[in-house]
Amino acid sequence: MMTRSLDDVPNLSQHGMNDQVSSVWSNSDRDFCFYEHANYGGRLLFTVLSHDGNLVGRSTANNKASSYKKC
């Protein structure tokens, strides 16, 4: 996932990334919560802490996220 946006994204399909997020790096000071469906619906799949990244090994969350926001 390559986005430098610090804005919340209610629908990753607008970025061509729906269900395609397999790697996340946050260089922000904020944590981000990733959700299963658009508009922050479904399950909370995972949280990317500030200055953290990489979903490798978190297969249950791989390629399922459809939205994310600061949390």
Contacts with Ca ion, residue ranges (CB under 5 A): 19, 64, 66
- Nearest distance in Å: CB 14, Ca ion: 13
- Nearest distance in Å: CB 57, Ca ion: 20
- Residue among 8 and 50 whose Cβ is closer to Ca ion: 8
- Nearest distance in Å: CB 26, Ca ion: 20
> Which phi and psi (to 5°) does residue 37 adopt?
-120, 170
- Residue among 26 and 37 whose Cβ is closer to Ca ion: 37
DSSP string, 4-60: ---S-BS-GGGGT-TT-----B--SSS-EEEEEEGGGEEEEEEEE-TT-B--TT-GG
